Amino acid sequence: MAIEARIPTILRNYTDGAKSVEGSGQTLGELFVDLDRRHEGLRARLVGEDGSLQRFVNVYLNDEDVRFLGGAETPLSDGDVITILPAVAGG
Amino acid sequence: MTSYSRAVLKISTGLRDEIVAHARRDHPDEACGVIAGPVGSDRPERFVPMLNAARSPTFYEFDSMEQLRVWREMDDCDEEPVVIYHSHTATEARPSRTDINLAGEPGAHYVLVSTRSPEETEFRSFRIVDGEVSEEPVEILG
């Protein structure tokens, strides 16, 4: 099951500069585990130790913010595209 | 966003004025947005004011769905966020600890505007890379 994950500039040091990588998983959380096997350290930037999404990273499944779906539990299907964007925020 | 060696922000009077007007309009809440420009050009060209989803005088955050739409638009037009701006409404125009911790676009010029004085608007630009802040001069083009 192939899922494309689009990687923002700030995380491309984990993907040898690649803008997009492929992985697999039944859920978003599983995809992150799979990606971390080849791109070590990436997962820790996306989810906390409990596996829930980091507060200031936006993850989209196709056109939806996964926070409005099932977070890390969001089910994935073959051909889905995940887009990761750093939240733009501050004080 | 491959070159991190920028030492100056060059921006038109018109775009500078749009940022300041947005900051004044949303005062006392913080205002935020981006100026897009062609990838690799370092030229801010297209003004994109964003909603502050936090609607707060001490915090700003892009709305995640608006951000996706705008980032896709930039991708489609071979653009990138050359400038990311926001205002401080009671403090000086330099990045706060939170701004530094959350800065996620190492290739962008982070523009800070302060509206704490009703008469005078501070307008400054910084780069924030790996938690390191460096101020850069702002050159206003005619």
CB neighbours of residue B131 within 10 Å: 8
Rg, chain B, Cα only: 14
B16 is written with which tokens? Answer: 């500078």
Does B97 sit within 8 Å of A58, measured CB to CB?
no
B1 pLDDT higher than 50: no
Q: Of B83, B85, B102, which to mutate for an interface test with A (greatest number of A Cβ within 10 Å)?
A: B102
Q: Which of A9, A67, A89 sits opposite B102 (nearest CB)?
A: A89
Q: Give the Cα separation of B60 and B51 in Å (integer).
A: 9
Contact A9 B106 (CB under 8 A): yes
Q: Out of A73-77, B5-9, B111-115, which region has the weakest mean confidence (pLDDT)?
A: B5-9
The β-bridge relationship of strands B109-114 and B79-88 is parallel
Q: What is the pLDDT of residues B63-96, one digit of tens each?
A: 999 999 999 999 999 999 999 999 999 999 999 9
Q: Return the CA Rg of chain A.
A: 12
pLDDT for B142: 80
Query: Six-digit token pair at A22?
Result: 């492929």
Per-residue confidence (pLDDT) for residue B6, from 0 to 100: 55
- ipTM score of complex: 0.92
Mean pLDDT of chain A: 96
A-B Cβ pairs (cutoff 8 Å, strict): 68
Query: Phi and psi of B117, rounded to 5°?
Result: -100, 130
**What is the structure's pLDDT at B2?**
44
**Which residue has tokens 């923002």?**
A8
Distance, CA of A57 to chain centre:
9
Query: Is cis: bond before B57, omega within 30 of 0?
Result: no
* Three-state SS annotation for chain A: CCEEEECCHHHHHHCCCCCEEEECCCEHHHHHHHHHHHCCCHHHHHECCCCCECCCEEEEECCEEHHHCCHHHCECCCCCEEEEEECCEEC
**pLDDT for residue B102 is more than 70:** yes
Q: SS3 for B28?
A: coil
Q: How high is the pLDDT of residue A50?
A: 93
Instruction: Give B42's DSSP letter.
Output: -
pLDDT tier at B98, thresholds 50, 70, 90: very high
